[in-house]
Amino acid sequence: GATIGIIGGGQLGRMLAMAAARLGYRTIVLDPEPACPAAQLANETLVAAYDDVAALARLVGHCDIVTYEFENVPVEPLRLAVQAVPLHPSADALEIAQDRVVEKAFLNGIGVATAEWRAIDSAAELDHALIQLGGEAILKTRRLGYDGKGQATIRKDAPLADVFESLGGVPSILEKRVPFAYECSVIGARGTDGTIAVFDPAENVHGLGILRCSTVPGKITDDVAREAKDIASRILERLQYVGVIGVEFFVDADGGLLVNEIAPRVHNSGHWTEAACVISQFEQHIRAVAGLPLGAPARHSDCVMENLIGDEVKRAASLLTEPAVLVHLYGKAEARAGRKMGHFTRLTGPANC
Ligand code: ATP
Ligand code: MG
Ligand code: MG
């Protein structure tokens, strides 16, 4: 059978490896950590840094297709190494999603609304941009942020130079704070033949910048669902994307949508699909990158997915006794604070759609 290379061996890589195995593919995971979550599930693990061109070339030499599970894979080494086999999603899509300024400029350029924003390269620019945007704002590093890391809320009392320096004084973006009614996300996929399939949106609740739970359908109205799916489809189309994408939205009280960010990979807010859809986001991604037909994205059940973070993994014992709950643990040894250890999805009833 064919072999799929997966760059990144976290829980997302692990769940991709599981889905690939079920469709008869071999997987090789590249990760600097030999005991990464995906290493237990992949056929082979290549232990190397993500920007190690020689290791990437070795991966390419043993694979028929290459994909990745996180958006911070350095693009240039990847472009250099991955020429002989298809890379899905493309390096171009990855590059856009890696930089919040490039990402928002792309979205606005295809007519997709975001929070108002300004690129910030110095404390003086921050001062100026804050006046232009007016109101409350959030400073984020352009690159490498996840789970709310690399972000600072602007407070009236703190000197702006300190805020800029607190993020490392690196190129940043200032975003107007959006007074959203709730957040939601859409997991979409586009196949090599251009077919698009989009799962139903999930309502997301975050705590301390980390996703806590995703509810389907939650507060999401049919109109908001339709609009969110349309926007995700437009992004997939305009990027000529292949694979699964996550699109995060802010929804206002009138059902107006702004895109927060896009993730060129399977997404935490799509984990519910493994319990409430016939084809999960993980299998959908494997199908897409391998050139197979996409699965139908319809859900059979309403559900709630909750992350098990740090110590919360202890809840698994009692969750396992519940009838309509799917528990998924990532095999991580140490339950450090803030670490995603697993998740569970509770089916809450048949879907009315
Ligand atoms: P992820 O783990 O999803 O990649 P991240 O570190 O890239 O997270 P964001 O998605 O930009 O971070 O922000 C995390 C959360 O912070 C958002 O889901 C939202 O709850 C809040 N947030 C971010 N930007 C804004 C904004 N402009 N206005 C209001 N809330 C915001
Ligand atoms: Mg992000
Ligand atoms: Mg986010």
Q: Tell me, what amino acid is at 340?
A: K
User: What residue spans in the chain does CATH classification 3.40.50.20 cover?
Assistant: 3-87
* Closest residue by Cα to residue 235 from 257, 212, 209: 257
**Is the CB of 177 inside a 6 Å radius of any atom of ligand 1?**
yes
CA 178 to ligand 1: nearest atom? 28
**Is the CB of 209 inside a 6 Å radius of any atom of ligand 1?**
yes
Contact 45, 31 (CB under 8 A): yes
pLDDT in tens, 237-265: 999 999 999 999 999 999 999 999 999 99
Instruction: Write down the pLDDT at residue 102.
Output: 98
Q: Please state the ipTM of this predicted complex.
A: 0.98
The token duo for 99 is 């930089």
User: What residue spans in the chain does CATH classification 3.30.470.20 cover?
Assistant: 182-350
Give the number of the ligand closest to the Cα of residue 340: 1
Q: Is 148 annotated as a binding residue?
A: yes
Average pLDDT over residues 157-170: 87
Q: Is 227 annotated as a binding residue?
A: no
**Ligand 3 midpoint to CA 19 (Å):** 24
Average pLDDT over residues 299-321: 98
Average pLDDT over residues 267-274: 98
- Is the model's pLDDT at 1 over the cut of 80? no
Instruction: Write down the pLDDT at residue 157.
Output: 74
CA 210 to ligand 1: nearest atom? 2
CA 150 to ligand 1: nearest atom? 6
Q: What's the CATH fold of domain 116-176?
A: Dna Ligase; domain 1 (3.30.1490)
**Is the CB of 183 inside a 6 Å radius of any atom of ligand 1?**
yes
**Is the CB of 60 inside a 6 Å radius of any atom of ligand 1?**
no
Using pLDDT thresholds of 50, 70 and 90, give the confidence band for residue 345: very high
Instruction: Write down the pLDDT at residue 212.
Output: 98
Average pLDDT over residues 51-77: 95
Q: Is 150 annotated as a binding residue?
A: yes
**Ligand 2 midpoint to CA 260 (Å):** 9
**Ligand 1 midpoint to CA 249 (Å):** 10
Instruction: Write down the pLDDT at residue 156.
Output: 72
- Is the model's pLDDT at 148 over the cut of 90? no
Average pLDDT over residues 325-339: 95
Burial label, 319 (beta-carbon count in 10 A; 0-12, 13-18, 19+): middle
Give the number of the ligand closest to the Cα of residue 145: 1
Q: Which CATH superfamily is domain 182-350 in?
A: ATP-grasp fold, B domain (3.30.470.20)
- Is the model's pLDDT at 76 over the cut of 90? yes
User: What residue spans in the chain does CATH classification 3.30.1490.20 cover?
Assistant: 116-176
Neighbouring CB atoms inside 10 A of 169's CB total 13
pLDDT in tens, 109-146: 999 999 999 999 999 999 999 989 987 999 999 999 88
**Ligand 2 midpoint to CA 261 (Å):** 6
Instruction: Write down the pLDDT at residue 249.
Output: 98
**Is the CB of 179 inside a 6 Å radius of any atom of ligand 1?**
no
pLDDT in tens, 30-49: 999 999 999 999 999 999 99
**Ligand 2 midpoint to CA 148 (Å):** 8
**Is the CB of 261 inside a 6 Å radius of any atom of ligand 1?**
yes
What is the architecture, at CATH level 2, of domain 3-87?
3-Layer(aba) Sandwich (3.40)
CA distances from 248 to 49, 97, 238, 262, 270 (A): 29, 12, 17, 6, 11
**Ligand 2 midpoint to CA 192 (Å):** 25
**Is the CB of 103 inside a 6 Å radius of any atom of ligand 1?**
no
